């Protein structure tokens, strides 16, 4: 037994049988890491080139006060994001509170009364249901403003149903949106190639229809982003992939300039748009996090593949499969009982560098339809590029594992989750 194995078993409480299982799984998947490393290397140099092209300097890390007019750091960050994602313009702001907020201002900035929104990847993430007006009492939802909504379910293989989408699009259709990540659904993430097929179809029908992507959890999973293949505007969170674990808060929207202008008026107000808004000294952490993001995302994806292999070996259903193409950092495991979901999340929490002593419990989290359990002992609260796991407490009891600022930490999360299930007698085999 080497020094690391001794540390894991004697000081960190991992049962030797659990360690042996994870080591066997790791040996089986290491050859697959080469392709992931190639994607990471490409994206690392792409980010580096953007920082150099826009002559980022120490002066960009300063900040002013009041209205935030003429903030060179803010302007530089947004130019860097626009270049990396291949768009005309971008908004990157700490005042965008999360991914849902970034998506909401995108929808509300572009759509007008009488327009129709179509989601072509099935239902949106839970927190967007109230934004759209699928659920809740309105309170400023799209529905309350006379914007209609339709959704096209995915095909049984998890791909976009292009035939049904074509039939659904009408003269009222203003926007077709796709959610790249799985959300709380049992499917594989939508690949960039699938998104490209969708945008070609939509723009061939009507080039004025706006194609939008929810890019949360998807940044740097491929050498191309949705905006490189026909998406007109996309949004995401800085405390997921692109923040690299260093951004303290914020969100981004990238796309065509005319759309970004409209969205900026929803972000602040008409007539002001993107011209105001303090960065509160966050440009350094935003840019440094962006610089490290490709490597951080690489570690998280490897951890997700390891999680898939381990739980496949334990006999659980998993999505995506070990060999499947990945378009987000999320690994879904169908555990089959609330007790197993809770135990899994307890293991992830116990693996955290922060709040490892805390026991996560399900609760009625705002914006969600079911009670949700979330395990996340993160340096940045709610940061899901850091090691985390969450699950709605509803059948068929699926847990969603993601993140890890390093592969080693993501691996430790897998070890602790299996260890907790083992200690509670919730595994059929080991």
The per-residue pLDDT for 387 is 98
Matching CATH number, 3-42+294-423, of 3.90.1150.60, 3.40.50.2300, 3.40.50.2020, 3.40.50.300? 3.90.1150.60
CA–CA separation, 117 and 212 (whole Å):
10
Direct distance between the N- and C-terminal alpha carbons of the chain, in angstroms, rounded to an integer = 20
- Residue 397, Cβ neighbours under 10 Å: how many? 19
The per-residue pLDDT for 364 is 86
CA–CA separation, 261 and 254 (whole Å):
11
The per-residue pLDDT for 210 is 98
CA–CA separation, 417 and 18 (whole Å):
10
Radius of gyration of the chain (CA): 21
Give residue limits of the domains in the chain. 3-42+294-423, 60-290
The per-residue pLDDT for 369 is 76
The per-residue pLDDT for 367 is 67
CA–CA separation, 85 and 416 (whole Å):
36
**121 preceded by a cis bond (ω within 30 of 0):** no
Closest by alpha carbon to 380, among 354, 358, 361, 410? 354
Per-10-residue mean pLDDT, the chain, length 430: 92 96 97 97 98 97 91 96 98 97 98 98 92 87 96 95 98 98 91 98 98 98 98 98 98 98 97 95 97 98 98 97 96 97 97 96 81 94 95 95 98 98 91
18 contacts: CB under 8 Å, gap ≥ 6: 415, 418, 419, 422, 430
What are the tokens at 8?
């894991």
CA–CA separation, 79 and 52 (whole Å):
12
Strand-pair partners of 179: 214
CATH 3.40.640.10 given to domain 60-290: yes
218 contacts: CB under 8 Å, gap ≥ 6: 180, 181, 189, 225, 226, 236, 241, 327, 328
The per-residue pLDDT for 96 is 98
- For the entire predicted model, the pTM comes to 0.95
């Amino acid at each position: 037994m080497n020094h690391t194995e001794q540390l894991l078993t004697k000081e960190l409480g991992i049962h030797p049988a659990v360690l042996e299982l994870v080591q066997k799984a790791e040996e089986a998947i290491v050859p697959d890491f080469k392709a992931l490393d190639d994607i990471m290397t490409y994206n690392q140099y792409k980010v580096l080139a953007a920082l150099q092209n826009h002559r980022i300097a120490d002066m960009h890390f300063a900040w002013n006060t009041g209205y935030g007019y003429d903030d060179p750091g803010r302007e530089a960050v947004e130019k860097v994001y626009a270049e990396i994602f291949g768009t005309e313009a971008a908004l990157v702001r700490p005042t965008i509170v999360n991914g849902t907020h970034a998506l909401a201002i995108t929808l509300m900035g572009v759509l007008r009364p009488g327009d129709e929104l179509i989601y072509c990847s099935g239902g949106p993430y839970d927190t967007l249901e109230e934004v759209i007006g699928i659920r809740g009492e309105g309170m400023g939802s799209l529905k309350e403003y006379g914007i209609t909504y339709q959704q096209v379910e995915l095909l049984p293989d998890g791909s976009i149903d292009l035939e049904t989408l074509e039939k659904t699009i009408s003269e009222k259709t203003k926007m077709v949106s796709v959610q790249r990540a799985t959300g709380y659904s049992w499917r594989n993430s939508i690949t960039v190639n699938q998104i490209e097929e969708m945008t070609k179809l939509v723009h061939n029908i009507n080039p004025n229809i706006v194609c939008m992507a929810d890019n949360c959890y998807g940044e740097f999973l491929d050498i191309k982003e949705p905006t490189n293949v026909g998406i007109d505007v996309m949004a995401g969170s800085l405390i997921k992939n692109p923040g690299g674990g260093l951004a303290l808060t914020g969100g981004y929207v990238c796309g065509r300039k005319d759309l970004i202008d409209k969205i900026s008026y929803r972000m602040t107000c008409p007539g002001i748009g993107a011209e105001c808004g303090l960065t509160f000294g966050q440009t350094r952490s935003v840019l440094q996090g962006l610089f490290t993001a490709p490597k951080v995302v690489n570690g998280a994806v490897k951890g997700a593949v390891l999680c898939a292999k381990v739980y496949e070996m334990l006999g659980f259903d998993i999505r995506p499969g070990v060999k499947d193409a990945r378009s987000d950092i999320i690994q879904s495991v169908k555990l089959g009982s609330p007790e197993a979901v809770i135990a899994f999340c307890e293991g992830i929490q116990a693996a955290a560098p922060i709040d490892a002593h805390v026991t996560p419990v399900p609760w009625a989290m705002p914006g969600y339809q079911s009670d949700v359990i979330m395990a996340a002992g993160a340096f940045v609260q709610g940061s899901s590029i850091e090691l985390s796991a969450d699950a709605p407490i509803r059948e068929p009891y699926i847990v969603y594992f993601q993140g890890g600022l390093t592969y080693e930490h993501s691996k430790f999360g897998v070890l602790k989750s299996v260890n907790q299930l083992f200690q509670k007698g919730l595994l059929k085999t080991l």
